[in-house]
Structure 1
């Protein structure tokens, strides 16, 4: 088992790291790191997990993830097909708040950015949906001088603050990492659910994955995600159902069964509880 703590390569003479990810898919393990991460997704789609939030990511999402916030970008199954033409591209900044701390302390003009970085403990997202001035700066970052890259970082953070559409992702704020064994358990639980959501998963099954008794597992999950097991499982299933409703021609009942629901009425009820609307209404809205 690889540790959940992810080591971000450092640049000795720089206060931040610029990273450009390209390939068939993103890193597929739930992980965290002490650096704050600002990422623009240019290409790629799938399931987004940030803290206790399970959602969808898509091109031109801009993510700000605070230090030690658990996260993963899980690409859709199509990205793993043998002859798939799908690919991913993302532009990221990694930096530690204390490295830029003196700037924020001494410059009143940057006090709002310091506040944004504190809010990043929950994870933040801005859905750009299409290219704009902010995303175009990211796409030029590879050829920029270090000073220009720093300006891109600061203006991007400022853009997040100014946007009315910037949303908080996780209900839980992450500041200090808990015990490594808890991170490994949480990673195992998420990976198991994300892999087996279409099958029946009992409380006993998932508790054994975490090597806990059912009672201890429920307490563990509530502590780390503020969710019950059934809430977490339903959110994963409904997120995949939303994708199938948007992207496939299957009927609602076929999608319900494909996402692990044994009857349509329960699927409709759970779908509405998570999304606030019935599957048919969702289909009309996104179709």
Structure 2
């Protein structure tokens, strides 16, 4: 079992200023450095960064660098942070909107009208990256929302979430297995397939076996998974295993080889190649980088 307590101790737990009776809180900050350590909090957070090209972002097990306009929705308790890696001469604008999922009751979100918003909030558990054009449009909405109060602020928030829920070309940043998010799908067969892979990821998983679990032929299951996820069975399995690898790199002291074998990778050369292709760095660099940001270093 992975030692999640290590992750919880290393990642700063932020106590936000959002009051119990508040709809949301919004902050506009001009800065040249991002020095706040990797952290989590119970609230959902929409973070907009303008003029910060090259800044490093960490969301769950995702590590990347941002462009000029960055907009990410982060779910509750998902480790996240932005970090400057060099000295800046020009100000960066950061706008942070925080709100609680409890603001929207289960019955409210279950209505057909809010189906897209429900899916948005569920996917936020992995971190959602929006395109630069959406980021720039949302900036205007955030300016307007900051001037609202009372019931108007709730309607403004709902309108903003609707725009995000219908946005195209979004990217889910953190892997399901790192974020410990359940696969929520309209297809019970897809959920069963991922449940099986999550239980047995450390062992060989044959296409034949998983096809039997969902009562399909191998060919039908292959087409089904590709249509549902955009990835092949093998690609999904690799992503899931790498998510478990990433979590173990930051929650255990096991060697990289031990972690790789534990997560179902039996060929170290192939494992290292896959990890670098998906994460953009070697496992050693990933562990070092993540641990450095958890301790607040740059």
Global fold match (TM > 0.5) = yes
Query: Which residue matches 2:144?
Result: 140
State the Cα deviation string for residues 110-165 of structure 1 (Å, max 9, x = none).
22211211111111011224875432111333323344433332222222222221
Give the match for residue 54 of structure 1: 63
1:153 aligns with 2:157: yes
Quote the residue 1:13 is aligned against: 21
1:221 and 1:229 in contact (8 A); partners too: no
For 2:36 and 2:134, locate their aligned partners in 1 and report how far apart those are by CA, in whole Å: 25
Q: For residues 216 and 99 of structure 1, do their structure 2 counterparts lie closer, same or farther at Cα, with a shift above 3 Å needed?
A: farther
1:192: which partner in 2? none
Length-normalised TM-score, structure 2:
0.55
Q: Deviations over 1:184-229 (max 9, x none)?
A: xxxxxxxxxxxxxxxxxxxxxxx99978252697369969xxxx78
Distance 1:131 1:38 in 2: 10
SS at match of 2:95: strand
Residue 66 (structure 1) shift: 0.8
TM-score normalised by length of structure 1: 0.57
Residue 141 to residue 27, structure 1, CA distance change in 2 (3 Å): farther
Aligned to 1:110: 114
| Partner secondary structure for residue 150 of structure 1 | helix
In the comparison of the two structures, how many residue pairs are matched? 200
Measured after TM superposition, the shift of residue 63 of structure 1 is 0.8
Matched, 1:64 2:68: no
| Higher RCO (CA < 8 A, seq sep 6+) | 2
How large is the RMSD of aligned CA atoms in angstroms? 3.7
- Which of residues 39, 44, 60 in structure 1 aligns to 2:47? 39
Aligned to 2:127: 123
* Residue 87 of structure 1 pairs with residue 91 of structure 2: yes
SS of the residue 1:138 aligns to: helix
1:73 corresponds to: 82
- Name structure 2 gaps, 5 residues minimum: 1-8, 182-247, 265-270, 283-298
Partner of 2:161: helix, strand, or coil? helix
The 3 A distance-change label for structure 1 pair 162 and 211 is closer
Unaligned runs of 5+ in 1: 80-84, 177-206, 239-287
Q: Deviations over 1:87-108 (max 9, x none)?
A: 2222222122122225734643
Partner of 1:274: none
Contact 2:48 2:69 in 1 (8 A): yes
C-alpha contact 2:28 2:94 (8 A) present in aligned 1: yes
Contact 2:23–2:153 under 8 Å retained in 1: no
